[in-house]
Structure 1
Amino acid sequence: MEKQATRDAYGQALVELGRQYDNVVVMDADLSKSTKTANFAGVFPERFFNAGIAEQNMMGMAAGLSTTGKVVYASSFAIFATGRAFEQVRNSIAYPRLNVKICASHAGITVGEDGGSHQSVEDIALMRSMPNMCVLVPADGIATREAIFQAYKWQGPVYVRLGRPAVPVIHNNTDNIKIGRGITLRKGRQASIIACGIMVSKALEAAERLAAEGIEVAVIDMFSIKPIDEELIIQQAQDTGAILTVEEHSITGGLGSAVCEVTSRYCPVPVLRMGIDDQFGQSGKPDELLEHYELTVGHIVQNIYKLLQIKQG
């Protein structure tokens, strides 16, 4: 299966976007080779600005540029873009609802050996809690390109969460990849898996294993965390009666919390949340860390078994 890191797809999409729209400006905080904004800098040096290791300043500069009609894509590692610069993002970008697109790479524990200090497992929660902020978590390179182009047309700030490792390309068309929508990748009647980011491909693999045992589960790629597809979540709750959420993020405030907010209000059903359970990350190889934090295909299968037992009472 073809693989591509979402950060690589971001770098490619930026160049394509820059060719179509001359008001696109890109900024980085001295990490352009890692975030792949260097691709844009190489083609459009006059529209690229390196703010240095000064993420807070970068967000303020991005806000100012956006008031002149520019659409600014500001990048850094997720831990810095959302954590270090939170106040600037809140007060200078989200509060006035400016056209700044924060595209943060190296999110989650699959950053690997850099360890807990650089592994952002809180970024979705931080950005989702912010008024006016749109939050997108693409699962592959195809969805990443759509996120970047749709962010351009979205009026207001957008947070796009990107990863370091190569992940399987799972989408073969873009018709259903839209802000505010989830994507049904597989239908099932016994339970629903709602996943985002790198965990979507693992959810699909788990569904294949379960199908071989006669257990049919639906798989939803929740590309848009905010606005979230309430209608699809309610439909899955009604159709299958049980939901498993899977994310490479804290279960506090992330995708799982967002889904529970919908089900508890409109259609209460059993929901199990898979993610980082109130812990920081640590140094290790990405696959080792996914195993340690129980975010593998096998763990998804085990949690579906557990969920079905809860559903059956």
Structure 2
Amino acid sequence: MTTAANNPAIEAAGLRKSFGEKKVLDGIDLTVPQGTVFSLLGPNGAGKTTAVRILSTLVAADGGRARVAGRDVVAEAQAVRGAIGVTGQFSAVDGLITGEENMLLMADLHHLSRREGRRIAGELLERFALAEAAKKPAATYSGGMRRRLDLAMTLVGRPQVIFLDEPTTGLDPRSRQTVWDIVRDLVFEGATVFLTTQYLGEADELADRIAVLHGGRIAAEGSAEELKRLVPGGYVRLRFTDQDACRGAAVALGEVAADSEALSLRIPSDGSQRALRSLLARLDSAGVEADELTVHTPDLDDVFFALTGDSTPPAPPTPPAQPDQPTRQGRHTEAAR
């Protein structure tokens, strides 16, 4: 899908926020093109949720400026709220009422007519595979079903920009995959998704661009592949079926790690097009052809460790126990005001 890079869905400059003496955001800059998935990574307490709350007008920044859907988050806060959808870390579904009633409540908050609200609610319940359970109390839903209902409620107002704050926390792999498919569909249809996550594989799978937040600042930003190239340890593996060809390649390439039994060579490389072109040119000059070439680059775990200095991966947080009778007021209501 073509993105509108000259008209960003989200742009922020110099955002700062402190809570008491704790500086959470220390002048971050962000630009998110329309029709893309942008993922914000960082350790627990890095300020990811604070950034979401500022961009969705729920918290005021101490400094800097931000625009969402072309509107200033301070001067045009009401217009921003009308253009966005927000799904936070924990479900805002009301378990006392049915899935359909949760949807219709959101339709009322968006001032839709009864007929239009029922139409949109029905379409979304069908799309999120919740139509059969629509008349049942949401308290009877599984965790995955509640999360899908949460997302469906966020979409009632047809938002241009969708903030998903750790949307798959606590979900099983199948439910997580379902959420991923929904995110891809939303972007295909033109929405912009701002995603925070504790699952590095999730950002790798979904995001067009990723920013790593650490110490209140953006430590690095780029595509997943660009970020992986920042970390040393990548290599190219060449495999041969002929022993003489393997030896000839080793001589031509110089410093390589050879596995004589597997007839393979391991050559340090960042995996870039330029590096691969140079490698292949040297093989051509030596008159040697590999039977298989694979590129191995560091994963996002390696990037995270290198940029944040953490020695352990960011473990997904354990969600607190949800109340048996959640109130109807939640972040969906705040975003729709």
Sort the TM-score into its range (normalised by shorter chain). 0.3 to 0.5
Larger Rg: 2
Under a length normalisation based on structure 1, what TM-score does the superposition of the two structures give?
A: 0.33
* TM-score normalised by structure 2 residue count: 0.31
Say which structure, 1 or 2, has more relative contact order (CA 8 Å, 6+ apart).
2
